[in-house]
Amino acid sequence: MKKGMGWPIGIVAILLASVAGNIAVIMITKDDPSFSVEPDYYRKAVEWDSTAALRVRSDALQWRVAARVEAGAGDQSQLTLDLTDAQGAIVRDATLRGSLLHIARADDVQQVAFTQAESGAYVASVPMQRVGVWELRLTADRDSSHFLHTVRVETTAPAPSSGP
C-alpha cells in the first residue's frame, strides 16, 4: 500500500458503514407493523379542500358516537356503537363502516361493516387480539347525510376465570 492511502481508505470505510447501516434500518422497519405510511397520501392532499368541506357538513349534523367493546369467544370481540343525532335520538337505518387499527400496529388495518341491532345500536364482530387503544375511522351514511368521526376505544385483558 502506498504511503498516505490510510486516510482515503478510512473515509471510504466510514461511508460504506454508514450506507450499510441505513440499508439495515430500512430493511428492519420495512416489515414492522408498528410503522405505517398513510396510504394514498398524495390523493388525500390534493382533495384536502373537499375533505375539509365534507368534515364541516359532517360536524353540522351534530351526531354523536359512543363506543364499547365486549370480549368475545377466541379472538373475536363485539364492537358496539350508539349513534345519536343532535336531539339524542338514535340514528336508524344508517350504513356504518370504518377502518379499525390498534395504535401500536398502525400498518395492520381491518375494514369493519356494522349491522343495526333491534336496540338501534350498531354492532360488528371484529378480531381484536391486542390489549390497548384501538382507533376506528368511522363513516356513517343515511340518505344524503354523510358523517365522519374517529373513535378511540380501549380493550383490557379478560378477567381471569375463578377456579375451584
Instruction: Provide the b/e sequence for 65-93 (b: ≥16 CB within 10 Å).
Output: bebebebeeeeebebbbebebeeeeebee
Angle formed at CA 6 by CA 3 and CA 9, multiple of 5 degrees: 130
> Does residue 160 sit within a domain?
no
* 50 plus 96 within the same structural domain: yes
* 143 plus 76 within the same structural domain: yes
* 148 plus 124 within the same structural domain: yes
Q: In the chain, which residues have pLDDT < 70?
A: 1, 72-74, 157-164
> Does residue 58 sit within a domain?
yes
CA gap 42, 32 in Å, rounded: 23
Confidence (pLDDT) at 160? 53
Confidence (pLDDT) at 40? 86
Looking at the 3D structure of the chain, how many domains does it have? 2
> Does residue 36 sit within a domain?
no
- Contact in structure between 81 and 66 (CB atoms under 8 Å): yes
Confidence (pLDDT) at 163? 47
CA gap 65, 50 in Å, rounded: 23
| Beta strands across the sheet bearing 64-71 | 64-71, 76-84, 122-127, 115-116
CA gap 151, 134 in Å, rounded: 8
**Residue 21 sits in which domain range?**
1-31
* 23 plus 76 within the same structural domain: no
Confidence (pLDDT) at 15? 96
* 120 plus 82 within the same structural domain: yes
